Structure 1
Amino acid sequence: KFVKHIADHNGVYTRGTVQGVILDMCECLVEMLLEGKKVQLGALGDFFISLNSVGAESLKAFTAANIKAVNVVFTPGTDFDGLIERAKFNPVASRTAQAATLKAEKEGLSTVDLEAAKG
């Protein structure tokens, strides 16, 4: 849906072209991150890697086995400035209420007891 959305905004590029560019970008992004590079995409933002590890008694004792997670960190760029001012917030039912409603619909019920759902 995201690819279609982009393609609909730029009539010049087909969905296939947009999807191909995004897939190639992801492949290259991973490659560069694994090379230890910070990837800067201008107004979109920056990507870099952080590691989670367990300690070792010395640098010599530290190996790849000490590394427990590799995380991709995204720092938003200027395109994301002022999101709070640009966002529109709409109230929605709680997850509990949504689940109770879905359950009632599946059971063919026409009402939902929200107090009972909150249990």
Structure 2
Amino acid sequence: MIKFSTYMLPNPIHPEKGSLAYAKAQVNEVMSFRKFVQHIADHGGYTRGKVKGVLSDMCTCLVEMLLEGKKIQLDELGDFWISLSSDGAESCEKFTADNIKAVNIVFTPGVDFENLLSRAEFETVASRSAQAATLKAEKTGKSTVDLEAAKKKPTTDKEEGSGNTKPSDKGDNTQGGGSENGGENAGTDGGGTDAGSDGNMG
């Protein structure tokens, strides 16, 4: 079950439309590597140690192959390869390896990640700020909650995700960067949205 809350957000592509309501997915649980390994072991009949060992070795080997310039195809999981971020030079002759500033991992999902919308179930819930304000009111014995004040309260990246956005080549929507608990993505056209993540666990 994917829980989501709605937010009014400005439309950077079509500002004349003003603010529109969009969905942000909420992270229900941050699953540790240990829990994920146990989940795989329970489903596959393998020991937890074998699963952990295979996954750890896979990560080590994946990095090794990527640094050798290989594109790795992991079937249902998807494909991994690298891209480079670099500072521009005046000419190709003047460009050197020193201009390269970052090695980025590119991932394209495999078939198991296709058509997630048709397989997902959704539940509307209150925003993280509203949940926190309600809990605080209960603890302090208050009978009302000032939601507007709660929305204006500053939040950290860890509480609400990074919120970085940029136009997508798929249309008028935005894609946010992630935080350790989940990024925030919110569509910005009137016809649809890309699911985002309100990463705060509350």
Q: What TM-score, normalized by structure 1, do the two folds share?
A: 0.85
Runs of at least 5 residues in structure 2 that lack an aligned partner in the other structure: 1-34, 153-202
- Structure 1 stretches of 4+ with a deviation exceeding 4 A read none
Q: Identify the residue that residue 63 of structure 1 maps to in structure 2.
A: 96
Greater Rg by CA: 1
Change in CA separation of 1:84 and 1:116 when aligned onto 2, cut-off 3 Å: same
Choose from 92, 95, 108 the match for 2:139: 108
Residues 113, 47 of structure 1: alpha-carbon distance in 2 compared, 3 angstrom cutoff:
same
Aligned length: 116
Aligned to 1:74: 107
Distance 2:106 2:82 in 1: 6
Offset, 1:14: 1.0
Greater relative contact order structure (CA < 8 Å, 6+ sep): 2
Q: Which shows bigger deviation, 89-98 or 47-56?
A: 89-98
Cα distance in 1 between the residues matched to 2:141 and 2:96: 60
Alpha-carbon shift at residue 56 of structure 1 (Å): 0.8
RMSD in angstroms over aligned alpha carbons? Answer: 1.9
- Which protein is richer in helix relative to its size? 1
Distance in 2, matches of 1:99 and 1:61, equals: 55
More strand by share: 2
Gap change, CA 1:55 and 1:18, over 3 Å in 2: same
One of 17, 33, 48 as aligned partner of 1:15: 48
Q: State how far apart, in whole Å, the 1-side matches of 2:118 and 2:64 are.
A: 36
| TM-score computed with the length of structure 2 as normaliser | 0.52
Aligned partners of 1:99, 1:71: CA distance in 2, in Å?
Answer: 36
2:168 alignment counterpart: none
Q: Measure the CA separation in 2 of the matches of 1:100 and 1:36.
A: 50
- Measured against aligned partners, the alpha-carbon deviations of 1:47-100 in whole angstroms (never above 9, x if no partner) come to 111111111122332223212222111111111121110011222321322343
Q: How far apart, in 2, do the equivalents of 1:36 and 1:70 lie? A: 11
Q: CA deviation at 1:110?
A: 4.1
